[in-house]
Amino acid sequence: MRTIAVWPLDGPPPENVPAEFHAPCARVGRDLRHLPAGDRLPAGVRWELSEEGYSGFLLGLGTARGPLFTRETDPYLPPGLLTAYIAEQVQDHLTGYEFVQWPACPGHTHPMAPAPAGTRGWWHCRRSGRPLARIGDLAATP
């Protein structure tokens, strides 16, 4: 595995990161600023992009100590699907390993679910299926 780049969660990626990853990672990174009170990410968490000869790109989160998780990620998926996929991978890591329910669904005890829609993807209520906020716009959630 060869590391291609690391960059801040809500910062711009380096030039050698495929352009298709720029907007989805920025949107999910912005939403990560809205973790529940008392929950936080490990110090120095950042995006990590690697390349594996047999599987392609591996995208995930890491720290200076190493990767927290990486998943094979196809940058050529439709933009809304790619955004929802990246959001889901981060959500799965946080829920499964950090025990963080993110992002919280307003008025419910479950997290919202990412779903592809258009070029951005949306956070939906898992119970009603209603779209609540575009991925990247959690600050606008009622």
CB 133 within 8 A of CB 141: yes
Torsion, Cα of 25, 127, 129, 124 (10° steps): -20
Predicted pLDDT of residue 130? 94
Predicted pLDDT of residue 140? 53
Cα–Cα dist 19/13, whole Å = 9
CB 132 within 8 A of CB 112: yes
Predicted pLDDT of residue 119? 85
Q: Tell me the pLDDT tens digit for each residue of 57-85.
A: 999 999 999 899 999 999 999 999 999 99
Predicted pLDDT of residue 77? 95
Bond from prior residue into 131 cis (ω within 30 degrees of 0): no
Below-70 pLDDT ranges, the chain = 140-142
Instruction: Give the global pTM.
Output: 0.92
